[in-house]
A and B are shown apart, each in its own frame.
Chain A
Amino acid sequence: MGATQTQVPPADSLSAKLPDETLVGWLKDMILIREFELRTMAAYQQAKIGGFCHVYIGQEPVVVGTFAALQHADPIVTAYRDHGHALARGMHPNACMAEMYGKLPGCAKGKGGSMHMFDKPNNLFGGHGIVGAQTPLGLGLAFAARYENEVIGEAINYNQDAPAKRVALVFLGDGAMNQGAFHEALNLSNLPGQLRSPIIFIVENNKYSMGTSIDRGTTMAHDMKVKADAYGIDYLETEAFDITRLYDDFKPFADACREEQKPGFVNLHCYRYQGHSMSDPQKYREKTEVEEYQGNDAIDNLTHHLVNERKALTEDDVKTIRKDAKDVSKEAQKFAEEAPEPSIEGELYSDVYANIQPNLSPMDHYRHGSTNALLED
C-alpha cells in the first residue's frame, strides 16, 4: 500500500534537530483539523451545512508538513478539499465553519461555502471547484512572486515582510492530474527564460478521484516520475503517514525550488478515510483497505514519537491537546450557528463588480416580482 510504518527519524535528519515545541505544534495542528472535520461532518449530517462538503480526515499531515517548510508569504492555492489548508494557513476556525454554514462572518461572507476557502491575509488564494483549474493559477502566483522580486524589486502584494525569494504551492488531487490545465501549467512552469517559476505542484495522491482509482484513471500511475521528467521538472515522491519523513523530504526540496526559483513536482502519497463527499456509498474500495491505512495514521505516529521517543509529551498532555481541539471546533460550530445570515439587500449583489452595476436587477424591484420601469406611474 505504499505506506511505511513510522520509524524514529535518523538523528541527523532535519526534523530530529527541530525543537520539541515545533513538533508538538504539528501535532496540535493535525489534531485540530481532525476534530474540526468531525464537527463538520456532524453539522453536515444535521443539514446545517449545505452544498457539497469534502472533508480532509486522513490527509492532515499533507498541509501541516508542507506548510512547515514554507514562509507565511509563500502563496498557496488548492482545490475544493480545502478546510485543512485554511486552518493550517491560519484561518480562524470560526470563519471556516461559518463559511460552510453560509453565514456572514465566513471567510467569503458565506457566499463560497465549503469548496471556496479564501484568506488573502494568510496568502491562501482559494479552494476551487473546477478540478485541475487551479493549477495554472498557482503558476501565475509563482510567476508574480518572481516578477515582483526581479522586476519591481519589492513585494507589492503581501502585507507582511516577505522574503525576496518566494515559492508558490499548488495542491491538486490525483484525479486533477488528468486534466489538460495541469499539463499546460507544467509545461509553462519550466520554460527557460520565460515563465519558469518557483511553483511546487503537490499531488495529494489519495488514490481515488471520486469512485475512480488512480490506476483506472491515470496512465503510468505506478511511475509518476515520468510525468515530471517529461517537462524536465524535479520530482519528489514522499508520503504523509509519517510527518517527520514528509518534512525531511520536502524541506530541502522546497528550499531548492525557492533558491533556484524553479518548479517542482511532488507525488505525495496519502489517503482519505471518509468518502469523497458526504454522500458516497464507497462501493469502489474495501473497508479493510481503509482500516489498513487508519492503522498507520500520521497523528498516532507522531503522538507515539513525541510520547515514547522524544518524551516531549505525556499521555495526559495528548488528551489535553485533543480536548482543546474539540473545544475550539465546538466553539466554531456554536459561532457559526449563532452568526448572522447574509442579508438579501446587502449580499445578493455585493462583490460581483467593484461598483454596483445599473443592470443588476435591483432587489426592491425584483424581490416580489418583476417590475418593468415602463409600468411605473
Chain B
Amino acid sequence: MASLTLVQAINLALIQEMEADDRVLILGEDVGKNGGVFRVTEGLHERFGAKRVVDTPLAESGIMGSAIGLAMGGLRPIPEIQFEGFMGPAYDQLTNHAARYRSRSRGSITIPMTVRVPVGGGIHAPELHSDSPEAIYAHTPGLKVVMPSSPYDAKGLLISAIRDPDPVVFFEPKRIYRSFREEVPEDEYTVPIGKAKIVEEGSDLTVVTWGASTVQCIEAMDSLPEDLSVELIDLRTIYPWDEETVVESVNKTGRCVIVHEAPKTAGFGAEVATVIQERCFLKLQAPVQRVAGFDTVMPYYKLELEYLPDAARIGKGILECAAY
C-alpha cells in the first residue's frame, strides 16, 4: 500500500498495464518527453521508450483516428486528450467510428481503446478547460464512460478500461488530481466498470453523484442534522450505469437528490431521475431533486464557484428534499 494522489494512481495503473501487455501504448500531445499537461504520464517515456509513449503533433482528429486504427490493428491504445474541450476535433472519429465499428462489422472489428480526458471545473481554468460533457458520450451507444472520484477507484477502473473489449472514455476530474491522497495497493486490481459505490450508507435519503462532486457531497453531509441518515452513491461509471444500486437505494429511502457539475438540462442526472421515476414511483416520497451546474457557458473563475454545486447548495437541496 502506498498513499497516492489520483494522478499517481493513474500513472501507476498505466505503468502496470504497459508492463503486463506490450499491446498497450499511449499517444497524445506532449505525453512523452513532457509527461503530459497534468504530468499524468510522467516517467513513462523514459521507461517504455518513444515507440510506446508517442508524442504526437497537435491534431486531435488524427490522434483519435489513428488510435482507432491501432485498436483495429490489434493493439490497446490509450490516447490522451489534454482537456475535455479539445474533444471537439476528435468527436467525429470517436462517435462516428470508434463507437460503431463493433455494430457495423457484425462484431468482427472491435475497438479496445481507452481515451483519457481530464474533465470538469474547480481549477480556475476558463471554459473549454472546465466543462463536463459526460452526458454527450453517455448518449453515444457503443462507448463506455467512466469517471472516478478517488485514487483507489481511478487505478482499478483504469485497469478495467484498458482491458475492456470496447472503447472507454475515461474522464479524470482535474479538481481532485492532487487534492487528496488515499491508500492504493501496489498490486494490480480492478474496479468493475458499471458498478456504483455506496460511499456512505443511510436510510432517509439517497444522494447520487459522480466525479469531483462526490467530494463536495461528502463535505455537505458533514453539516447535516445528525438524525438525517443519507446514503451517498458514487456512480463511478456513467455508462453503463448501475441502475440496480440506485434503484435499490431509492426504494429504501424514498427520496433522491442527484448532484453533478454539468449544466442541469439534459445532464446525465435527467436520465437517472427518469429511471428512478420508472422504477421507484410508488416508493417515492418527494420529487427527485437535481443540484447541478446551470444552463450557461462554464463561467470564468470569478464566478466558477457560484456555478459548481458546492457543499452549501448540495446541503440545501438535501434538506429541502428531506423536508418535503
A367 to B86, CA, bound (A): 30
Q: Are B126 and A348 in contact (CB under 8 A)?
A: no
A129 to B314, CA, bound (A): 31
Q: Are B61 and A369 in contact (CB under 8 A)?
A: no
Q: Are B55 and A348 in contact (CB under 8 A)?
A: no
The answer to whether A283 has its CB under 8 Å from any CB of chain B is: yes
The answer to whether A176 has its CB under 8 Å from any CB of chain B is: yes
Q: Are A179 and B300 in contact (CB under 8 A)?
A: no
The answer to whether B185 has its CB under 8 Å from any CB of chain A is: no
* Closest chain A residue, CB of each to CB of B293: A361
**Residue numbers in B under 8 Å from A194 (CB-CB):** none
Stretch in A56-64, A230-238, A352-360 with 4+ CB within 8 Å of B: A352-360
The answer to whether B101 has its CB under 8 Å from any CB of chain A is: no
- Bitwise, B203-228 to A at CB < 8 A (1) or not (0) is 00000000000000000000000000
* Closest chain B residue, CB of each to CB of A174: B58
**Residue numbers in B under 8 Å from A360 (CB-CB):** 294-296
The answer to whether B72 has its CB under 8 Å from any CB of chain A is: no
Stretch in A30-38, A69-77, A266-274, A339-347 with 4+ CB within 8 Å of B: A339-347
Q: Are A342 and B295 in contact (CB under 8 A)?
A: no
Out of A211, A342, A361, A369, name the residue touching B319 (CB < 8 Å).
A369
A6 to B183, CA, bound (A): 60
Q: Are A370 and B317 in contact (CB under 8 A)?
A: yes
Q: Are A178 and B313 in contact (CB under 8 A)?
A: no
Total chain A interface residues with beta-carbon distance under 8 A: 52
- Bitwise, A20-38 to B at CB < 8 A (1) or not (0) is 0000000000000000000
The answer to whether A138 has its CB under 8 Å from any CB of chain B is: no
* Closest chain A residue, CB of each to CB of B39: A281
What distance in Å separates the Cβ of A52 from its nearest Cβ neighbour in chain B? 6
The answer to whether B66 has its CB under 8 Å from any CB of chain A is: no
What distance in Å separates the Cβ of A309 from its nearest Cβ neighbour in chain B? 41
The answer to whether A374 has its CB under 8 Å from any CB of chain B is: yes
**Residue numbers in A under 8 Å from B313 (CB-CB):** 366-370
Q: Are B287 and A344 in contact (CB under 8 A)?
A: no
The answer to whether A216 has its CB under 8 Å from any CB of chain B is: yes
Out of B57, B289, B303, name the residue touching A178 (CB < 8 Å).
B57
- Bitwise, B273-317 to A at CB < 8 A (1) or not (0) is 000000000000011011110111101111100110000111111
Give the number of residue pairs across the A-B interface with Cβ within 8 Å.
157
Stretch in A112-120, A253-261, A313-321 with 4+ CB within 8 Å of B: A112-120
Contacts A216-B55, A370-B291 given; does A344 touch B306 at CB 8 Å: yes
What distance in Å separates the Cβ of B86 from its nearest Cβ neighbour in chain A? 7
The answer to whether B231 has its CB under 8 Å from any CB of chain A is: no
A180 to B60, CA, bound (A): 9
Cβ < 8 Å to B, chain A residues 325-377: 341-342, 344, 347-349, 352, 357, 359-361, 366-372, 374-375
Q: Are A210 and B89 in contact (CB under 8 A)?
A: no
Residue of B30, B55, B307, B312 most packed against chain A (CB within 10 A): B30
A181 to B320, CA, bound (A): 49
A376 to B307, CA, bound (A): 23
**Residue numbers in A under 8 Å from B297 (CB-CB):** 111, 352
**Residue numbers in A under 8 Å from B290 (CB-CB):** 370
Out of B33, B59, B129, B306, name the residue touching A211 (CB < 8 Å).
B33
The answer to whether B124 has its CB under 8 Å from any CB of chain A is: yes
Q: Are A211 and B30 in contact (CB under 8 A)?
A: yes
Out of A180, A209, A341, A370, name the residue touching B302 (CB < 8 Å).
A341
The answer to whether A11 has its CB under 8 Å from any CB of chain B is: no
What distance in Å separates the Cβ of A88 from its nearest Cβ neighbour in chain B? 22
A179 to B319, CA, bound (A): 49
Q: Are A179 and B296 in contact (CB under 8 A)?
A: no
Q: Are A51 and B301 in contact (CB under 8 A)?
A: yes
**Residue numbers in A under 8 Å from B303 (CB-CB):** 102, 342, 344, 347-348
**Residue numbers in A under 8 Å from B59 (CB-CB):** 178-180
Cβ < 8 Å to A, chain B residues 29-76: 29-30, 33-34, 37, 55-62
Cβ < 8 Å to A, chain B residues 249-278: 257, 264-265
A200 to B265, CA, bound (A): 41
**Residue numbers in B under 8 Å from A357 (CB-CB):** 295
**Residue numbers in B under 8 Å from A372 (CB-CB):** 287, 289, 320
- Bitwise, B90-131 to A at CB < 8 A (1) or not (0) is 000000000000000000000000000000000011111100
Listed by A's residue number, 20 A-B pairs whose Cβ atoms lie within 8 Å are A50-B301, A110-B300, A129-B126, A129-B128, A180-B62, A212-B57, A212-B58, A283-B33, A284-B34, A341-B302, A344-B303, A347-B299, A349-B296, A359-B265, A360-B295, A361-B265, A368-B316, A369-B320, A370-B317, A372-B320
Q: Residues of B with Cβ closer than 8 Å to A?
A: 29-30, 33-34, 37, 55-62, 85-86, 88-89, 124-129, 257, 264-265, 286-287, 289-292, 294-297, 299-303, 306-307, 312-320, 324
Given contacts A218-B57, A370-B320, 18 further A-B contacts (CB under 8 A): A102-B303, A111-B299, A111-B300, A113-B300, A130-B88, A178-B59, A180-B62, A212-B57, A212-B58, A216-B55, A341-B302, A360-B294, A368-B312, A369-B291, A369-B320, A370-B292, A372-B287, A372-B289
- In the A-B complex, the 7 residue pairs with the closest CB atoms: A369-B316, A50-B301, A217-B57, A102-B302, A178-B57, A211-B34, A50-B124
